[in-house]
Amino acid sequence: MTQERLIKQHMFVTRFLLAITIAALLVFIGLYIDETHRVQETYRTQFNTYLSNTDASIDSYLNAEGDLPLRYRRIITDLSNANAFAFLLNDMTEDQKRTINELYTCFLKYPEQMQDTARLNDVRTAVSDMSENLDKGYDEAAEIVDSVDKKGF
């Protein structure tokens, strides 16, 4: 009889510990999911900040009377940061990420073409639409990328 009672006590303790372990696991899973959402919100905020900085840098470049190379590098830097945060976002499609990367690449490889005033105004519009999370901004950016002569300078 004592052996049977001992086994029942061990089973009770085992079930109790299993319940505590499952509860703790569920709490940690919930905390992980919450933290993941919080990190994604931070990435989205940073992405939008750098897109608005790109918009301001383009405006600064268009209204400047001097030191255009520095202002152009600022555009490249802001677009590079937005590109980096775009790849960290889970809610963006691969096409959207590729479009931002290609736009950044065009600014790097073809500065003579990208410094055109009309093209910069188009980029500013596209970047503004992207920061508002509109799909048409990515379509506009893709059109700009397609309009660049990639065989020329």
Query: Which domain CATH number covers 52?
Result: 1.20.120
- Domain region containing 124: 39-147
Residue 51 lies in a domain: yes
Residue with tokens 């937005």: 82
The amino acid at residue 150 is K
Contacts of 95 (CB under 8 A, 6+ apart): 138
Residue 75 lies in a domain: yes
Report how many domains make up the chain: 1
Residue 91 lies in a domain: yes
Give pLDDT tens digits for 30-86.
999 999 999 999 999 999 999 999 999 999 999 887 788 899 999 999 999 999 999
Stretch (H or E) spanning 38: helix 2-63
Long-range CB contacts (< 8 A, 24+ apart) of 33-42?
Answer: 40/89, 40/90, 40/91
Residue 112 lies in a domain: yes
Contact 57, 78 (CB under 8 A): yes
Residue 80 lies in a domain: yes
- Res. 139: pLDDT tops 80: yes
Average pLDDT over residues 110-132: 91
Residue 86 lies in a domain: yes
Residue 123 lies in a domain: yes
Work out the angle at residue 63's Cα, subtended by the Cα atoms of residues 57 and 64, and round it to the nearest 5 degrees. 85
Cα separation, 36 vs 139, in Å, equals: 29
Cα separation, 111 vs 95, in Å, equals: 23
Report yes or no on whether pTM surpasses 0.75: yes
Residue 13 lies in a domain: no
133: left (phi over 0), alpha (psi -120 to 50) or beta: left
Q: What pLDDT, on a 0 to 100 scale, did the predictor assign at position 23?
A: 97
